């Protein structure tokens, strides 16, 4: 289907975990709350309500830092089973409108309603109806973006949050995209945004004046993606079957691991837990390469992966040595994992990781 004929909806629940907690405990409404780990045990904020965000609190922030910003902040422990139940109910609502659903997480998804007969084929009316039904049945709000492609639909869903709806019609795309700051484009982080700003590129209108070859010269292969986004072009389909890319385990320690030896001593317990998660994949995937992630005491972090490295305790030990050398500082978090391929593409190979461990 041509890109401009698509009707894509991006649905994003508003402060999902916190919204469920406020729904189930109305006394939490109107006060700053976050869902996450204990500030005294190096927990982090998973999500927070809008009252908390007014203090500068955001997801992935250390809980201790969040408490400093807002001493009256109440941090609620997560109830993942409840969140999964609510997410499943919302996904069931989506399925009434289209089978083309791509969940991105428990609280957001893309829907392709291009050929849906629901609501007289109107993507806008479908989005409105979904929002109404979610609020009525689940007691929380969702925001929605409607656009000709995934890139624009995702930006639109964030446009009028919370409890908002933004529609970008095909004839509005050029003007809408031109005004966008490049820093909000998918894949543009702080460093890339600064590089673009140094080139005099602050908006998509600025970006559009550059030729594709020039952008590739300056930004590498990502320059091609930037060239397309500046024109509102995104041909990615809604992918119904999401392939798992990796499986991992990580742990934040109550006290910094002071040196490399302490990090290596922590590996067996992490690998045992990783092995359990891999077993539950039931041979659907093939392990392609191991990786390790270290977050140092100053919150800098590094991830190291190596194709062909042995997926054994010794293999992860070598990765840990190399990763630790990049920082050489006490470590607050270690993560271990493997990248995955579909086992069907590997001539029936099964995932049999860590058979050598013991």
pLDDT tens-digit map of 30-83: 999 999 988 777 788 999 999 999 999 998 888 999 999 999 999 999 999 999
Domain identity same for 7 and 133: yes
35 assigned to some structural domain = yes
Q: What is the pLDDT of residue 344?
A: 56
Structure tokens at 316: 């992860």
**Orientation angle between helical segments 260-279 and 313-327, nearest 10 degrees:** 130
Give 354's pLDDT tier (boundaries 50, 70, 90).
very low
Domain that holds residue 58: 16-79
- 86/18 Cα distance (integer angstroms): 13
Structure tokens at 7: 């009707």
**Orientation angle between helical segments 123-138 and 80-95, nearest 10 degrees:** 140
Q: What is the pLDDT of residue 24?
A: 95
* Integer angstrom CA distances of residue 123 from 32, 116, 140, 203: 35, 8, 21, 28
Would you say 157 and 147 are in contact if contact means Cβ atoms under 8 Å apart?
no
- 38/44 Cα distance (integer angstroms): 8
Give 156's pLDDT tier (boundaries 50, 70, 90).
very high
Residue 206 known to bind ligand: no
Domain identity same for 7 and 125: yes
pLDDT tens, 93-136? 999 999 999 999 899 999 999 999 999 999 999 999 999 999 99
Domain identity same for 146 and 260: no
> Which residue reads 């030896």 in tokens?
261
Which residues lie across from 291 on neighbouring strands? 305, 337
Domain identity same for 75 and 191: no
Q: What is the pLDDT of residue 1?
A: 42
Q: What is the DSSP letter of 329?
A: S
pLDDT at residue 356 greater than cutoff 60: no
Q: What is the pLDDT of residue 176?
A: 95
Q: What is the pLDDT of residue 3?
A: 45
Give 267's pLDDT tier (boundaries 50, 70, 90).
very high
Q: What is the pLDDT of residue 245?
A: 81
Tell me the CATH number at 180: 1.10.150.20
Tell me the CATH number at 108: 3.30.70.270
Domain identity same for 25 and 93: no
191 assigned to some structural domain = yes
> Which residue reads 């392939």 in tokens?
243
Q: What is the pLDDT of residue 276?
A: 80
DSSP 3-state of 326: helix
Across the range 157-173, mean pLDDT stands at 94
pLDDT at residue 281 greater than cutoff 80: no
Across the range 5-14, mean pLDDT stands at 94
275 assigned to some structural domain = yes
Q: What is the pLDDT of residue 284?
A: 67
pLDDT at residue 305 greater than cutoff 50: yes
- 284/351 Cα distance (integer angstroms): 7
25 assigned to some structural domain = yes
pLDDT at residue 353 greater than cutoff 80: no
Q: What is the DSSP letter of 244?
A: P
pLDDT at residue 141 greater than cutoff 80: yes
Across the range 306-318, mean pLDDT stands at 88
Give 343's pLDDT tier (boundaries 50, 70, 90).
low
Tell me the CATH number at 40: 3.40.1170.60
Q: What are the residues whose beta carbons fall under 8 Å from the beta carbon of 61, sequence distance 6 or more?
A: 44, 45
Give 342's pLDDT tier (boundaries 50, 70, 90).
low
> Which residue reads 């990796």 in tokens?
246
Domain identity same for 161 and 262: no
Structure tokens at 146: 């409607």
Give the end of a domain, one of 53, 79, 105.
79
Would you say 340 and 246 are in contact if contact means Cβ atoms under 8 Å apart?
yes
Domain identity same for 90 and 71: no
* 108 belongs to the catalytic site: yes
240 assigned to some structural domain = no
Across the range 159-170, mean pLDDT stands at 95
Domain identity same for 337 and 265: yes
Quick one: 9 exposed, middle or buried, by C-beta within 10 A (0-12, 13-18, 19+)?
Answer: buried
Would you say 162 and 156 are in contact if contact means Cβ atoms under 8 Å apart?
no
Give the end of a domain, one of 37, 52, 79.
79
Catalytic pick from 21, 108, 172, 314? 108
Counting residues of the chain whose pLDDT is more than 70, the rounded percentage is 92
Give the end of a domain, one of 170, 190, 212.
170
Residue 107 known to bind ligand: yes
- 187/182 Cα distance (integer angstroms): 10
Counting residues of the chain whose pLDDT is more than 90, the rounded percentage is 67
pLDDT tens, 244-261? 788 888 888 878 999 999
Would you say 168 and 148 are in contact if contact means Cβ atoms under 8 Å apart?
yes
- What total number of domains does the chain contain? 4
Domain identity same for 286 and 200: no
237 assigned to some structural domain = no
Tell me the pLDDT of the chain averaged across its residues: 88
pLDDT at residue 358 greater than cutoff 80: no
């Amino acid at each position: 289907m041509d890109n401009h004929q698509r009707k894509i909806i991006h649905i994003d629940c508003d402060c999902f975990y916190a919204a469920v907690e406020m729904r189930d405990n109305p006394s939490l409404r109107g006060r700053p709350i976050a869902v996450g780990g204990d500030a005294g045990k190096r927990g982090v904020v998973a999500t927070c309500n809008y009252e908390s965000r007014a203090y500068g609190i955001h997801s992935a922030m250390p809980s201790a830092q969040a408490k400093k910003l807002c001493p009256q902040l109440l941090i609620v422990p997560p109830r993942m089973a409840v969140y999964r139940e609510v997410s499943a109910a919302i996904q069931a609502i989506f399925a009434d409108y289209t089978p083309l659903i791509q969940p991105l997480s428990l609280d957001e998804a893309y829907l392709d309603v291009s050929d849906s007969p629901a609501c007289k084929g109107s993507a806008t009316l479908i989005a409105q109806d979904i929002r109404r039904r979610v609020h009525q049945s689940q007691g929380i709000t969702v925001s929605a973006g409607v656009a000709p492609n995934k890139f624009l639909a995702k930006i639109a869903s964030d446009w009028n949050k919370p409890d908002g709806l933004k529609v970008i019609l095909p004839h509005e795309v050029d003007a809408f995209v031109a005004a966008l700051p490049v820093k909000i484009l998918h894949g543009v982080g702080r460093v890339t945004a600064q590089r673009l700003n140094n080139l005099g590129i602050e908006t998509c209108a600025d970006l559009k004046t550059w030729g594709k070859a020039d952008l590739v010269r300056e930004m590498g292969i990502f320059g091609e993606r930037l060239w397309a986004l500046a024109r509102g072009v995104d041909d990615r389909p809604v992918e119904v079957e999401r392939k798992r890319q990796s499986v991992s385990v990580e742990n934040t320690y109550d006290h910094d691991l002071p040196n490399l030896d302490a990090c290596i001593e922590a590996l067996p317990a992490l690998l045992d837990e990783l092995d359990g998660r891999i077993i539950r994949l039931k041979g659907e995937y093939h392990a392609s390469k191991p990786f390790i992630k270290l977050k140092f005491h100053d919150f800098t972090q590094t991830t190291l992966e190596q194709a062909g490295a042995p997926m054994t305790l010794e293999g992860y030990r070598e990765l840990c040595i190399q990763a630790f050398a990049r920082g050489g500082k006490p470590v607050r978090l270690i993560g271990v994992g493997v990248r995955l391929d579909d086992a069907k593409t590997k001539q029936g190979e099964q995932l049999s990781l860590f058979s050598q461990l013991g």
